[in-house]
Each structure stands twice: as structure tokens, then as C-alpha cells.
Amino acid sequence: MLCNGQCLPGPSCPTVRPPLPRRARSECPEGLTSCPVPGRSFGGWDCIDTRNDLESCGGCMYSVSSETAGQDCTALLGVNDVSCIKGQCAVRKCMLGYKLYEDHTHCVESGGLFNQLFRI
């Protein structure tokens, strides 16, 4: 019998075991986290320094678990100058019409004439 391009004795082809799936996540060096990357095919992962990365601060932005979800410090409302330090967004400056919150984690509207005139 012809089976998978080979001539074998017997009435039927033996069952072929499917290959084991590759590991989905790559192994990252110490200090980096393996994070999924949207838009990539199965197995799309990048090694990210979530303690210092502005767009994945504190965890992966597109995490499979909400426990490890990070924060995009660049997307904070009213922020003008920000860093990611030890996995937390650290705001240094706010845009006009906003003031720095006392714990330096975000900006809040300062009210006043500017916000009344230019409210979106």
C-alpha cells in the first residue's frame, strides 16, 4: 500500500502523530517579561522591560491576565512629561489646564478659564 509517499505492507496507513506545538512564549532574559504582541500570528511575543517601558509599564499592555496588565504612560490624560520607574508611571509635567496629582501618577484638570473655553 502507498502511504504518505512510501510503499508499506498492510491494508492501511499507520496513524501519524501530529507534531507537538511549539512553545507560544519565547524565553526572555532575566529582568524582561514575555508579552503578547497584537497583530502577529500565533506565537507573537516580545521581551519587554516592564519596569521601565513607557508603553508597558508594570506589565504587558495586551496581557492574557488582568493581574499582569500594564499601563501606557504616554496615554495618560493631560500628561506632558512622564517616565516608567520600577513599573509605575511617574509624571513630571502636565499640559496647560492640568495640574500634577500629589502622588505624581497622573494629571487632573485644574479647572479655570482655559478649560471652560477649550473644553472638548
What is the tens place of the pLDDT at every residue in 84-94? 999 999 999 99
| pLDDT at residue number 114 | 52
Low-confidence ranges of the chain (pLDDT < 70): 1-26, 40-43, 64-68, 112-120
16 is a domain residue: no
CA dihedral 27, 28, 31, 36 (to 10 degrees): -100
pTM over 0.85: no
Containing domain of residue 107, as a range? 26-117
89 is a domain residue: yes
**Rounded to an integer, what distance in angstroms lies between the CA atom of residue 3 and that of residue 28?**
42
20 is a domain residue: no
Count of domains for the chain: 1
7 is a domain residue: no
**Rounded to an integer, what distance in angstroms lies between the CA atom of residue 72 and that of residue 86?**
14
2 is a domain residue: no
What grid cell was written down for 19? Answer: 507534531
39 is a domain residue: yes
Whether the Cβ atoms of residue 86 and residue 51 lie closer than 8 Å to each other: yes
38 is a domain residue: yes
5 is a domain residue: no
Summary count for the chain: helices (H), strands (E): 1, 8
